[in-house]
Chain A
Amino acid sequence: MFVLITYDVPADRTGIYRKLLRKHLEHIQYSVFHGDITKGQLVTIIHEIEDQLKSDDSIYIFQAEVSAAVECTVLGDAEEPGQRFT
Chain B
Amino acid sequence: MPQDNHHIFADGKLSRSEDTLRIDTLAGEMKHLPVESVGTLYLHGQIDFNTRTLGLLNDYGTTVHVFGWNDYYKGSYLPKRQHQSGNTVVEQVRAYDDQDRRMPIARSMIQASMHNMRSNLKYYDTRDHEFGDAIERIEQQQELVADIADIQELRGAEATARKAYYGCFDDVLRDPFELSRREYNPPSNETNALISFLNAMVYTTCVSAIRKTALDPTIGYVHEPGDRRFTLSLDIADIFKPILADRVLFRLVNRRQLNLDDFERELEGCLLNEGGRLTVLEAYEETLDETVAHPRLNRNVSYKTLVQTDVYSLKKHILTGEPYRPTERWW
Contact = CB atoms under 8 A, between A and B. Distances in A.
Interface of A: 18-19, 22-27, 35-38, 41, 67, 84-86
Interface stretch (B28-36, B73-81, B221-229, B244-252): B28-36
Contacts of A35: 34, 37
Given A38-B1, A41-B36, A23 B6 contact: no
Contacts of B31: 86
Contacts of A25: 34, 37
Contacts of B8: 85-86
Contacts, number: 55
Contact of A22 (B9, B25, B32): B32
A22 B23 CA distance: 13
B300 to A, nearest CB: 11
B19 interface: yes
B89 interface: no
Nearest to B10: A86
Given A19-B19, A22-B20, A23-B19, A84 B36 contact: no
A66 to B, nearest CB: 11
Q: How large is the interface on B (under 10, 10 to 19, 20 to 34, 35 or more residues)?
A: 20 to 34
B37 A24 contact: yes
Interface string B11-51: 00000001110010100000110111100000000000000
Question: Which of A18, A23, A25, A67 has the most chain B CB atoms inside 10 A of its CB?
Answer: A23
B132 interface: no
A50 B171 CA distance: 61
A38 B23 CA distance: 25
A36 B281 contact: no
A23 B32 CA distance: 9
Q: Which residue, of B9, B18, B35, B282, has the highest number of chain A Cβ atoms within 10 A?
A: B18
Contact of B32 (A27, A36, A85): A27
B37 A84 contact: no
A27 B33 CA distance: 8
A32 to B, nearest CB: 13
B313 interface: no
Given A19-B18, A24-B34, A24-B36, A86 B23 contact: yes
B2 A84 contact: no
A2 B186 CA distance: 43
B1 A84 contact: no
